[in-house]
């Protein structure tokens, strides 16, 4: 089967990790080009040493090169501002798709095991956030058994794994993740928090998910969560439950007030996860970055497979 040729914009840590993942693990993708704006970039130099086409003139520079016509999928690992410019180029070529790892969210949110089938035909898809990729599958797993009124996630990551971009975009992280908990996870109301833990040695990514739903079959909910964890593990092997799923029934006379919804009662479900990175380029504790690049690669792999069917 013919593999889809891909280009990565952004030769930083995320772009470089994505490149190595695609080289090692992708079934239907072929690394072709790395795009940056700094001619002295280590990531561009690495890609060039590995035999790939490189340019320091941004995506417009790649557009002028012969290989542009062969590129099928573009991964954008730059910034929200840069993605708007990159999208203005890509949208002129309907045969090319772009997978957005920035907070720009021009295209619909995509979480591979949850809503790939409803977004696969879009030219531009957004990978939400690291916290979203880790936790939204769990909210969706509960919601497919019983209606989720409220979903709250707390993502705790090693401070060392949060670069300048993450720190500048903390507010955007929480807003984007909360919206995706609703749009993709199915919750009526979503909330997201992020904690940068300065512990040394660095901790691995830990996520806590709380849902308040209508009362439902607890065994069925637990089975649904375990099935979803297994789906995510197909592309993020280090994604695991840290403890058994916990349940608490909230009676009507002790209903909790949720801003925007009013008082709600039912079943509270608590899920604790940890995400250990594969260590391809980034350290194993950077599971927050690993799950983003892994989800993006899984999305590209599926899109390429479909194009060959």
Same domain, 269 and 140: yes
Write the pLDDT tens digit of every residue in 55-108: 999 999 999 999 999 999 999 999 888 999 999 999 999 999 999 999 889 999
* CA-based radius of gyration for the chain: 20
Cβ burial, residue 167 (10 Å; 0-12/13-18/19+): exposed
Residues identified as active-site = 130
List, in order, residues 6 or more apart from 107 with CB less than 8 Å away: 98, 100, 119, 122, 123, 124, 125, 126
Dist. CA 177–CA 173, nearest whole Å:
6
Q: Is the dihedral of CA 101, 121, 229, 29 positive or negative?
A: negative
Q: Are residues 21 and 150 in the same domain?
A: no
The mean per-residue pLDDT over the stretch 138-146 comes to: 98
Alpha carbon distance 17, 171 (integer Å): 25
Q: Compute the average pLDDT of residues 294-306.
A: 97
Residue range 176-199, pLDDT digits in tens: 999 999 999 999 999 999 999 999
CATH code of residue 66: 3.40.50.720
Range of the domain at 224: 130-283
CATH number (domain holding residue 255): 3.30.360.10
Q: At what angle do helices 130-143 and 112-119 cross, to 10 degrees?
A: 90
pLDDT in tens, 232-274: 999 999 999 999 999 999 999 999 999 999 999 999 999 999 9
In this structure, the answer to whether residues 8 and 80 fall within a common structural domain is yes
Q: What is the pLDDT of residue 241?
A: 98
Contact 277, 283 (CB under 8 A): yes
Q: What is the distance in angstroms between the CA of the first residue and the CA of the last residue of the chain?
A: 9
- Kindly report whether the global pTM for this prediction surpasses the value 0.85: yes
Whether residue 47 is predicted with pLDDT greater than 90 in this model: the reply is yes
Helix axes 13-25, 42-49, angle to 10 degrees: 20
Q: Are residues 138 and 275 in the same domain?
A: yes
Q: Is 60 exceeded by the pLDDT of residue 309?
A: no
Q: How many domains is the chain partitioned into structurally?
A: 2
């Amino acid at each position: 089967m013919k593999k889809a040729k891909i280009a990565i914009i952004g030769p930083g840590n995320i772009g470089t990790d994505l490149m190595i993942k695609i080289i090692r693990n992708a079934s239907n993708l072929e690394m072709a080009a790395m795009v940056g704006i700094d001619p002295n970039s280590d990531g561009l130099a690495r890609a060039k040493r590995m035999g790939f086409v490189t340019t320091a003139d941004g995506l417009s520079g790649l557009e002028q090169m012969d290989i542009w016509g062969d590129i099928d999928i573009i991964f954008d690992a730059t910034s929200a501002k840069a993605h708007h410019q990159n999208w203005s180029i890509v949208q002129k070529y309907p045969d090319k798709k772009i997978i957005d790892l920035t907070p720009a969210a021009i295209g619909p949110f995509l979480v591979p095991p949850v809503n790939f089938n409803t977004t696969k035909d879009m030219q531009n898809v957004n990978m939400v956030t690291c916290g979203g990729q880790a936790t939204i599958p769990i909210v969706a797993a509960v919601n497919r058994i019983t209606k989720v009124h409220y979903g709250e996630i707390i993502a705790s990551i090693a401070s060392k794994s949060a670069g300048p971009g993450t720190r500048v975009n903390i507010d955007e992280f929480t807003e984007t993740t909360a919206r995706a908990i609703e749009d993709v996870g199915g919750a009526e109301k979503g909330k997201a928090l992020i904690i940068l833990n300065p512990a040394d040695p660095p901790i691995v990514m830990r996520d806590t998910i709380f849902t308040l739903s209508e009362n439902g079959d607890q065994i069925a909910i637990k089975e649904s969560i375990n099935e979803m964890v297994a789906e995510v593990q197909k592309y993020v092997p280090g994604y695991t439950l840290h403890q058994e799923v916990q349940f608490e029934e909230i009676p009507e006379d002790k209903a909790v007030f949720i801003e925007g919804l009013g008082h709600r009662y039912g079943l509270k479900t608590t899920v604790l996860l940890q995400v250990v990175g594969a260590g391809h380029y980034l350290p194993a504790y950077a599971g927050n970055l690993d799950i983003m690049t892994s989800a993006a690669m899984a999305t590209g792999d599926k899109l390429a497979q479909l194009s060959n069917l």
